[in-house]
Amino acid sequence: MNAQRWQQVNDLFHSAVERAPDERAAFLNEACRGDESLCREVKSLLASHERTQNFIESPAFEVAPELLTNENRTSALVGELIGHYRIESLIDVGGMGEVYLARDERLGRKVALKLLPDRFTADETQLSRFKAEARSASALNHPNILTVYEIGQEGSRYFIATEFIEGLTLRASLASGRMNLHDALEIAVQVASALAAAHETGVVHRDIKPENIMLRPDGYVKVLDFGIAKLTELWLESDLGDPATMARLQTRPGLVLGTGHYMSPEQARGQTADARSDLWSLGVVIYEMIRGIPPFSGETPSDCIASILTTEPAPLSRVLPEVPLKLESILQKALRKNRDERYPTIKEMLADLRNLKEELEAEGSPQTKARAESIVSKIKRHKRDVLLTLAAAILAAAAFAYSFFFVAPAPLPNEKSIAVLPFENRSEDKSNAYFTDGVQDEILTRLSKIGDLKVISRTSTQRYKNTSQNLSEIANQLGVTNLLEGSVQKTNDQVRVNVQLI
């Protein structure tokens, strides 16, 4: 690539970055005017934007622009044997080193070979601590965690050999715009599952971000670089004591923090990261997947840190009304500034994400749609009954709210949860069962709008219809501290609704 071409690519890149993510594709199509090669180069830079950098580093094209302008540099190692891995091509370059596609000459398989920068491996103490962390990470065995084959050394070069993943990073996927809710939750559940397995063994990732999340074509998600961020942390501890260096880094316009948008408040303050830091970063990633932009940002590193430490993200439901309140609640808990106020472990967050995902899938299932169509059909035939249903449900919800908030003892914060059990149909005409279901559904809808109240979905409570099971056992199984049960009796134009809060 000659200097003139590089300038053209660079100018288009900066123009595209200034636009919203969902506007970039249209801008490039118009700006490149059919030059597919030019368009690919710029899109490659956009996908690399904020890629695999540590706390203080610029994007790869700023770290080493010669990689884009000097073809000899990118192919320098191609064909070389490092250990028993033969280099085939350059995959990526960033603050944590260069990543190559290589072939394992012993086993005849493709691997991703990461060569670590000399600045990270020069100090023996740092290196030994990193090796210990990396070995712990390499012992992780989980379908959503990248498999580490070897941590080795060839001469003065240190490398990490891992499985090679066919697919694209979450960052590359987000370059084309925000994700739909189903896809975002699917990715979130798999990443949370990987973190749960890692945290169980004492391994903290420290650098969860879209660049470290790979999406395979078969739907599997792989979390990359467990233990790698520890190397950056150790380097920062020893080499960033110079205030002038920090000041220069913090005020540099256009500098992308890499982890900056995703680092937790404690990491932004220079404190030690723990498992709850990963939880925060996952919350930021989920927010960005759904809205298309991260919740915290700034023109410089210090601006971004200030945003993380002092501002609250705009509620997703304010921008996207279709976002479930339960997801809003999950993100609010994950993004508490004080780590003690977040989920105590990733397992609790994973459970909430799975429950939400299952509820949304159940609502969209053929059985649920058939049930909805049946109810709509009956509603059309019984419009007067619908008004009675709505009135009865409003009264029942009002009675519950009065009892819950004014009569019952004030619950502790973690006790604000309830399940509405299937109501008993006491009408003589058993075909009025749909009417009873309508009352339960309407109560659930109204209760779900009460802030800080966890409401169990109807699909989770239906198995308790006509059961003789002990109510305390039901509450334990559903994980709630309150149950609402009742009955509905309809006779002509009169409706009697009995509601009991337990």
Catalytic residues: 207
| Cα distance between residue 308 and residue 280, in whole Å | 11
Measured CA to CA in angstroms, residue 194 lies from 199, 258, 486 at distances of 9, 21, 41
Side chain identity, residue 423: F
CA 374 to mean position of chain CA atoms: 36
Question: Which tokens in the block code for residue 195?
Answer: 């973190």
| Cα distance between residue 388 and residue 233, in whole Å | 63
Sequence-distant (≥ 6) Cβ neighbours of residue 202 within 8 angstroms: 136
Supply the DSSP symbol for 417: E
| Cα distance between residue 336 and residue 264, in whole Å | 9
Question: Which tokens in the block code for residue 372?
Answer: 């909805």
Rounded to 5 degrees, what are φ and ψ at 81?
-100, 120
Burial group, residue 97, by CB count within 10 angstroms (0-12, 13-18, 19+) = buried
Question: With contact defined as beta carbons under 8 Å apart, do 198 and 148 qualify?
Answer: no
Q: What is the DSSP string of 82-131?
A: ETTEEEEEEEEEETTEEEEEEEETTTTEEEEEEEPPHHHHS-HHHHHHHH
Question: Which tokens in the block code for residue 31?
Answer: 């700006």
Pairing type for strands 81-82 and 85-94 reads antiparallel
Left if phi > 0, otherwise alpha if psi is -120 to 50, otherwise beta: which for 52?
left
Measured CA to CA in angstroms, residue 134 lies from 126, 231, 259 at distances of 12, 9, 19
Name the residue among 241, 204, 226 with its Cα closest to residue 160: 226
| Cα distance between residue 181 and residue 440, in whole Å | 26
Sequence-distant (≥ 6) Cβ neighbours of residue 458 within 8 angstroms: 420, 440, 441, 444
Number of Cβ within 10 Å of residue 413's Cβ equals 7
Question: Which tokens in the block code for residue 286?
Answer: 């989920």
Q: What is the DSSP string of 274-286?
A: -HHHHHHHHHHHH
